[in-house]
Amino acid sequence: MSNPATDLSQRPLRVAIIGAGPAGVYAADILTKAERDFEVSIDLFDQYPAPYGLIRYGVAPDHPRIKGIVTALHKVLDRGDIRFLGNVNYGRDLTLTDFRHFYDAVIFATGALKDAPLDVPGVDLDGSYGGADFVSWYDGHPDVSREWPLDAKEVAVIGNGNVALDVARILSKHADDLLTTEIPANVYEGLKKSPVTDVHVFGRRGPAQVKFTPLELRELSHSRDVDIVLYPEDFEFDEASDEQIRTNNQTKTMVNTLTNWLAEEQDTGASRRLHLHFLHSPVEIYDDAATPGKVAGIKFERTELDGTGNVRGTGEFVDYPVQAVYRAIGYFGSELPEVGYDERRGVIPNQGGRVIDEEGNPVPGIYTTGWIKRGPVGLIGHTKGDALETIGFLLEDRLNLPAASEPSPDAIINLLEDRGVRYTTWEGWKKLDAHERELGAAYVHGDPGLGELVRERVKVVDREDMIRVSRGE
């Protein structure tokens, strides 16, 4: 006779999703809505006390149009059929053995949280920063320092993706123009003191090879008192560029925007400038005798297009005196205990979301989705497609999953409590959300010259405070 606890045809399927970013939430939503003749019971874990991953700790604070996505994700988690358990770290608070004990399947949706490495001399000098770290700071990440050294007048940002634009825009904007957003007080104070005058963004390829998107590029021109500066010698197009401009509307739009800016006189005498450089490959970040150990400049090799859209070095080198360098050359996924890891790509090795072992065979009951599945590229919406594929395979495998020995939903809660883990819940997030909105509504700025400010929210940064408010302690 079959045991109802372990017979998967007789009881709800128990699934744990690790990571409550968009990929994890979409996976949970797709699984709950999938056509099926059995029940599912899903727990969605995150190391942060709050849900939404990079939407909370990556998306720039001056991007309000993301709100529609947050509202949609909120609705999913507010239905009550997915249990959120925040402030639980996979690897520290719970192991894979624990998860296997309580769940029939585990989906890793842990994203990519750190900077991709840049291998040039001087990258470790004081004043050389990872873009991801800076993003975490301005987005009020609970685990990064509250202080950020904004003491540079001239800054270089390496990379031609949307993160480079975010970093450059936040660095060049006047702090008062960010005050309507949810930026925490320490971020406003830090940016307010910044003496920055020139932010230089460097792409190693040409204007037709940028990884920005049109809206994000155009947004640069909306910053008050910031001029955009472009250089005619950087506007080179090879056959592959022409083909790309002809066949790809997005490239065409961006090249048009850039060439229009180049043609128009952009110098309005603004107090800050945002320079866009192309065909510059970073060679070295250096200090000088006056400030040993601290960034004093950056050297690039000029590049030229090789006909295929790629570039080769020209042997010509140029130096830019800057006091800070931000690397925005992509994010990178982190290795997780007890799961395979592809060191080159920073992902969990998988086939369509089924995690595979070193021999390439699927590991029963273990799945992955989102950026940790396919690498740190793509918009929030793209993680829906990942989730659909992964959940499709999970449902196909259902009756062959290694059944949990303790599938009761209470069992994991008992374990967390026994281990003293101060987990947060969806109800807790709603309390924190309401608290942050109250802080926004109650906000009074000391400078009457700024007029009446409407702030929808002010973020709580401190992890302890987040937990305390969420748990009503």
Ligand X SMILES: Cc1cc2nc3c(=O)[nH]c(=O)nc-3n(C[C@H](O)[C@H](O)[C@H](O)COP(=O)(O)OP(=O)(O)OC[C@H]3O[C@@H](n4cnc5c(N)ncnc54)[C@H](O)[C@@H]3O)c2cc1C
Q: Does 49 bind ligand NAP (CB under 6 A)?
A: no
Q: From CA 281, how far away is CA 300, in angstroms rounded?
A: 5
Out of 383, 390, 424, 470, the residue judged to bind ligand X by CB under 6 A = 383
Is 162 a known ligand-binding residue?
yes
Of 47 and 194, CB closest to ligand X: 47
- Give the one entry of ligand NAP, ligand X, none that residue 107 binds, where binding means its C-beta sits below a cut-off of 5 to 8 angstroms depending on kind: none
Number of Cβ within 10 Å of residue 430's Cβ equals 14
Q: Choose, by CB under 6 A, the member of 204, 374, 384, 455 that binds ligand NAP.
A: 204
Binding to ligand NAP by residue 378, rule CB under 6 A?
A: yes
Part of the chain binding ligand NAP (CB under 6 A), chosen from 30-38, 39-47, 201-209, 251-259:
201-209
Q: How many CB atoms lie within 10 A of CB 205?
A: 20
Among residues 329 and 339, whose Cβ is nearest to ligand NAP? 329
Q: With binding defined as CB under 6 A, does residue 43 bind ligand NAP?
A: no
Q: Which residues within the stretch 302-331 sit at the binding site for ligand X (CB under 6 A)?
A: 331
Which among 33-41, 225-233, 370-378, 418-426 is the span making contact with ligand NAP, rule CB under 6 A? 370-378
- Shorter beta-carbon distance to ligand NAP: residue 64 or 337: 64
The entry of ligand NAP, ligand X, none that residue 44 binds, CB within 5 to 8 Å by partner kind? none
> What does the H/E/C string look like for the chain?
CCCCCCCCCCCCEEEEEECCCHHHHHHHHHHHHCCCCCCEEEEEECCCCCCCCHHHHCCCCCCHHHHHHHHHHHHHHHCCCEEEEECCCECCCECHHHHHHHCCEEEECCCCCEECCCCCCCCCCECEEEHHHHHHHHCCCCCCCCCCCCCCCEEEEECCCHHHHHHHHHHHCCHHHHCCCCCCHHHHHHHHCCCCCEEEEECCCCHHHCCCCHHHHHHHHHCCCEEEEECHHHCCCCHHHHHHHHHCHHHHHHHHHHHHHHHCCCCCCCCEEEEEECCEEEEEEECCCCCCCECCEEEEEEEEECCCCCEEEEEEEEEECCCEEEECCCEECCCCCCCCCECCCCECCEECCEEECCCCCEEEEEEECCHHHHCCCCCCCHHHHHHHHHHHHHHHHHHHCCCCCCCCHHHHHHHHHHCCCCCECHHHHHHHHHHHHHHHHCCCCCCHHHCCCCCCCCCCCCHHHHHHHHHCC
Residue 53 interacts with ligand NAP (CB under 6 A): yes or no: no
Q: Contact with ligand X (CB under 6 A): which of 49, 61, 111, 365?
A: 111
Site string for ligand X, 130-149 (x = CB under 6 A): -----x--------------
Give least dist CB 55 to ligand NAP, A: 11
Q: Report if residue 470 touches ligand NAP, rule: CB under 6 A.
A: no
The yes or no reply on residue 34 touching ligand NAP (CB under 6 A) is no
Interface segment toward ligand NAP; rule CB under 6 A; list 1-9, 42-50, 162-170, 426-434: 162-170
* Contacts to ligand X from residues 155-174, by CB under 6 A: 163, 166
Interacting residue with ligand X among 49, 58, 190, 297 (CB under 6 A): 58
Binding partner selected for residue 323 from ligand NAP, ligand X, none, CB under the kind-specific 5 to 8 Å limit: none
Interacting partner of 463 out of ligand X, ligand NAP, none (Cβ under 5 to 8 A depending on kind): none
* Residue number, nearest CB to ligand X: 21
Of the two residues 63 and 398, which places its CB atom closer to ligand X in the complex?
63
Q: Examine residue 263 and tell whether it contacts ligand X (CB under 6 A).
A: no
The number of beta carbons lying within 10 Å of the beta carbon of residue 277 is 22
**End-to-end Cα separation, the chain, in angstroms:** 48
Residues that bind ligand NAP (CB under 6 A): 63, 118, 158-164, 166, 203-205, 209, 211, 213, 216, 282, 328-331, 376-379
Using CB under 6 A, list all residues that contact ligand X.
Answer: 18-24, 45-48, 53-54, 58-59, 63, 66, 89-91, 109-111, 113, 135, 163, 166, 331, 370-371, 378-380, 383
